[in-house]
Chains A and B, each alone.
Chain A
Amino acid sequence: KQEVTQIPAALSVPEGENLVLNCSFTDSAIYNLQWFRQDPGKGLTSLLLIQSSQREQTSGRLNASLDKSSGRSTLYIAASQPGDSATYLCVAKLVFGAGTILRVKS
């Protein structure tokens, strides 16, 4: 049974910092891994989808990496902004982690 863990559970950083969010999964037989952002009371907005054959995906200031063999993915956010404040979630084989709550202070 797939289990997904996200570390840290919460993170508070000053504006402009680069940061890394971690996602680990127990079942490495995945086709893909997807990262989402969720604002309070809202649905999930897709950020990046990494196919199992890929090692990285980039979109603007976001970069996600995937290491299937070690069961890990990281989401790197460059030059963080207050508008990046949200909960970040990863999903593998339909199983979500509990998320990382990010607060970027201006």
Chain B
Amino acid sequence: DTGVSQDPRHKITKRGQNVTFRCDPISEHNRLYWYRQTLGQGPEFLTYFQNEAQLEKSRLLSDRFSAERPKGSFSTLEIQRTEQGDSAMYLCASSPPGHDTGELFFGEGSRLTVL
């Protein structure tokens, strides 16, 4: 049984470049979440998918951020025209079907450094 998988684990980019992160949830989980975490802070919610539908999106998610989950399986988070303030750990989580959020399972995260 594989857990939540994120790729790449580390990404260093120059300001203004676009980056994309991928998240593969646990196979039977239909819910997928993206969070951002900066040093010394708790994770901040970005967005949430149930199957392929994006049901909730934080105001933190500016127009430069877009997330997709086209077939209800893996998800991508793209950041366009990166800024130094985007440097953070991007965490993905999934949870099983149910009437509520359920137990969250996190991946190891993708660390972004914008130079």
- Residues of chain A whose beta carbon lies under 8 Å from any beta carbon of chain B: 4, 6, 31-32, 34, 36, 41-46, 49, 89, 91, 93-99
The prevalent SS among residues of B at the interface is loop
Q: Name the distance in Å between B44's Cβ and chain A's nearest Cβ.
A: 8
Closest A-chain residue to B108, C-beta based?
A: A43
Q: Name the distance in Å between A36's Cβ and chain B's nearest Cβ.
A: 8
Tell me if B62 is interfacial: C-beta within 8 Å of chain A. Answer: no
Given the interface pairs A43-B106, A43-B107, A94-B33, the reply to whether A89 lies near B42 with Cβ below 8 Å is: yes
- Looking at B33, B43, B44, B109, the one whose CB has the most chain A CB atoms below 10 A away is B43
From the candidates B48, B91, B103, name the one contacting A49 in the complex (CB within 8 A): B103
Given A31-B99, A91-B104, 5 additional A-B pairs, CB 8 A: A41-B111, A43-B106, A94-B33, A97-B42, A98-B40
- Residues of chain B whose beta carbon lies under 8 Å from any beta carbon of chain A: 33, 35, 40-45, 48, 91, 93, 99-109, 111
Q: Which residues of B contact A91 (CB under 8 A)?
A: 43, 104
- Looking at A32, A46, A94, the one whose CB has the most chain B CB atoms below 10 A away is A94
Cα-based distance from A96 to B93 in the complex (angstroms): 13
Q: Is the CB of B43 within 8 A of A44?
A: yes
Closest 10 CB pairs of A and B: A31-B100, A96-B42, A44-B106, A43-B108, A43-B106, A49-B103, A98-B42, A96-B43, A43-B109, A94-B45
Q: Which residues of B contact A96 (CB under 8 A)?
A: 35, 42-45
Cα-based distance from A43 to B90 in the complex (angstroms): 10
Q: Is the CB of B43 within 8 A of A89?
A: yes
Q: List 21 A-B contacts (CB under 8 A).
A: A6-B42, A32-B100, A32-B102, A32-B103, A34-B103, A42-B108, A43-B91, A43-B106, A43-B107, A44-B106, A49-B103, A89-B42, A91-B43, A91-B104, A93-B101, A94-B48, A94-B101, A96-B42, A96-B44, A96-B45, A98-B40
